[in-house]
Homo-oligomer: A and B are copies of this chain.
Amino acid sequence: MFRKLFTTGHKGRSCHEKRGYMKEKKEDRRIGRTRRLMHEALMSLIVEKGYEAVTVQDILDRADIGRSTFYAHYRDKDELLLSSFEHLRNLFEQQQQALIASMRTGQEPEVNFILELFRHTGEHQKLYKAIAGKQSGEMILKYLHRYLYNLLIEPHTLLMKNKKSPPVPVEITTHCLVSSLLSLLTWWLDNNMPYPAEKMDEIFRIMTTPTIEAAFGRKVQKNEYDKIVSRHPEGSLMAFYSHFIDSDCCPAG
């Protein structure tokens, strides 16, 4: 009941409780259209003026929707942005699930998480520019950082299972690697993606494989992550590295 939306304290709740703009069955067509307009308005405004400078009024003007309509769907602009992020994440995770399923049936040799992230960024560069580019907001960058950190801390910890005292605590290494990864993503987006995703993956690998080995105090073998992924009960995205540079990690001087 739409009238219920205006009950104090229940702001921003549609009947279906889904605030991304991916449609589900039987959702009113108007809801999908209204939300798509708001998301597109926000994404373009972020790139133009930076997230913090964007006002709800700006979004209403750009999307050409009413103020009470906005507040019927979202609590504030942060919630709108988060739902854009959830949309992107769903797209990404569904794609990775499909790749992992292919890997299990032997159709795909491996899943390379970093490469897939760069590919996904290239495919949705407009959204990624708003969420991870220089004009994005600190709130969403922190959200993205936490997401990637949570994704990577477990395989890193599993790699350390038999080593009680690495030279650098795993959570510090992971924290800094994720910052580097996001920094690289931002650089790539802000410089209009001068290299293909494959090259970006290579660059990231060159910079971080030696870091992981030095920080963890052990050499990491090819396909080690894949074994972990295969054993992981939920089949989640654990393939941080599907293959590594050969063992001579320091190029001849």
Classify chain A's interface size. 35 or more
- What sequence of 0s and 1s flags, for each residue 132-143 of chain A, a beta carbon within 8 Å of any chain B beta carbon? 001001100110
Interface residues of A in 214-243 (CB under 8 A from B): 214-215, 217-219
Contact A52 B138, CB 8 Å, known A210-B250, A218-B251:
yes
Say yes or no: A206 contacts B210, CB within 8 Å: no
The one of B134, B167, B182 that contacts A251, using a Cβ cutoff of 8 Å: B167
Alpha-carbon distance between A178 and B251 when the two chains are bound, in angstroms: 23
Say yes or no: B207 contacts A168, CB within 8 Å: yes
A83 contacts partner chain B, Cβ-Cβ < 8 Å: no
A253 surroundings in chain B (CB, below 8 A): 218-219
Alpha-carbon distance between A175 and B185 when the two chains are bound, in angstroms: 11
A139's closest neighbor in chain B, by CB?
B52
A176 contacts partner chain B, Cβ-Cβ < 8 Å: yes
Instruction: Please report A residues at the B interface, Cβ cutoff 8 Å.
Output: 52, 134, 137-138, 141-142, 167-168, 172-173, 175-180, 182-184, 187, 203, 206-211, 213-215, 217-219, 249-253
What are 18 A-B pairs at a CB distance below 8 A? A134-B142, A168-B207, A173-B207, A175-B184, A176-B187, A179-B182, A180-B180, A207-B214, A209-B214, A210-B211, A210-B249, A211-B211, A213-B250, A213-B251, A217-B251, A218-B251, A249-B249, A249-B250
